[in-house]
Amino acid sequence: LNLYCKNILCVFITATILCACSNKVEEIDQLFEEDLQTNIERGKNIRIIYSDSAIVRVIVHAPVMERYIAYNDSKDVFPKGILLEFMNEDKIVYSWLKADNAVREEQTSKITAKGNVMFYNDKNEKLETPELIWDEKQRIVYTEKLIRITQAEKGDTTYGFGFVSNQDFTRFEIKKKVQGKINVSDFVQAIN
């Protein structure tokens, strides 16, 4: 009788274990994804160099970077500011992008800069906006937000909505220019 009870107990435990297992890929992926969401790498005084054919093209500087490693969606977060320097073949910086914070999505290869975003070039032209996206693959920067471009040599300031430019900031387009009077303090509030 005792051996019979042990066999029944063993069969019951085995059946319970087999019924509890899942072969659904979605459930297994979710378990791994939840586990990987907690993986964060942090670094200070970061310098990232982008090169093409052994020529330095862009240098990214940041006081802090947090890399969130997820199963399908990794990203780099720059919570304390970012500076991108775009260079020519002679390693001369021709444009700069500066912001209070930024996020780089690994899947899209785009950096979204936010907060007091300023984009300069070597002709002393300056773009100000609350958000600017750098597309690493297409080598362009763009936004749909409010912008102000100051061209000191021309003595001109232009306001508008939407902007696209090469990363050199030598050819650009304002999607919708704003005509008329603008309250500068309202603009400053909008870009911050």
Residue at 17 is within a domain:
no
Residue at 83 is within a domain:
yes
| pTM listed for this prediction | 0.73
Where is pLDDT greater, at 189 or 70? 70
What's the number of domains the chain is made of?
1
Residue at 34 is within a domain:
no
- CATH number reported for the structural domain that contains residue 54 in this entry: 2.60.450.10
Mean pLDDT of 1-29: 63
Residue at 164 is within a domain:
yes
pLDDT tens-digit readout, 63-119: 999 999 877 778 999 999 999 999 988 889 999 999 999 999 999 999 999 999 999
Residue at 38 is within a domain:
no
Residue at 127 is within a domain:
yes
What sign results for the dihedral spanned by CA atoms 54, 57, 59, 60? negative
Q: Is residue 60 over pLDDT 90? A: yes
Q: Is residue 35 over pLDDT 70? A: no
Residue at 14 is within a domain:
no
What residues make up the domain containing 90? Answer: 44-191
Lowest-pLDDT range of 35-39, 101-105, 153-157, 158-162: 35-39
Q: Is residue 46 over pLDDT 70? A: yes
pLDDT given for residue 71 in this prediction: 74
When the pLDDT of each residue in the chain is averaged and rounded to a whole number, the result is 84
Helix (H) or strand (E) holding 32: helix 25-36
Q: Is residue 56 over pLDDT 80? A: yes
Residue at 50 is within a domain:
yes
User: Which has the closest alpha carbon to 148: 161, 164, 166, 131?
Assistant: 161
